[in-house]
Amino acid sequence: KNKVIAETEYYKDAFAIAKLSDVDDDIELSVAKAEIANELINIKNVKASFVISRINDKYMISSRSIDEVNVQLLMEKLGGGGHRSSAGAEISAGSYEEVINKIKKVIDEAEKEGGID
């Protein structure tokens, strides 16, 4: 977990995006994603966190937020869902970088629409 957190990318200084790529067990992967997403949201100035993992050709995103960002709406734009402060999505993509770019795009769109304070 510490390695993933240390290698986290920060977008616009308020959105933490992490890649979790070294876990093979589905249950362990789900737990690790949730724990990392929760830890990242506690970092100063982080409004929302996104942790990405991959199984075969599918990428799973686990997201968390504080009051300023409704991650449910962001994940819905990627075909997922959840709750205002905890949501997720499963998408097809060619790489982690493609998934990261999709996350950045929905953040940008939400900011333009006034969905992020």
pLDDT value at residue 25: 52
pLDDT value at residue 116: 73
- Residues in the chain, pLDDT under 70: 22-29, 115, 117
pTM of the predicted structure, to 2 decimals: 0.89
Alpha-helical regions (H) of the chain: 2-6, 26-41, 71-77, 96-112
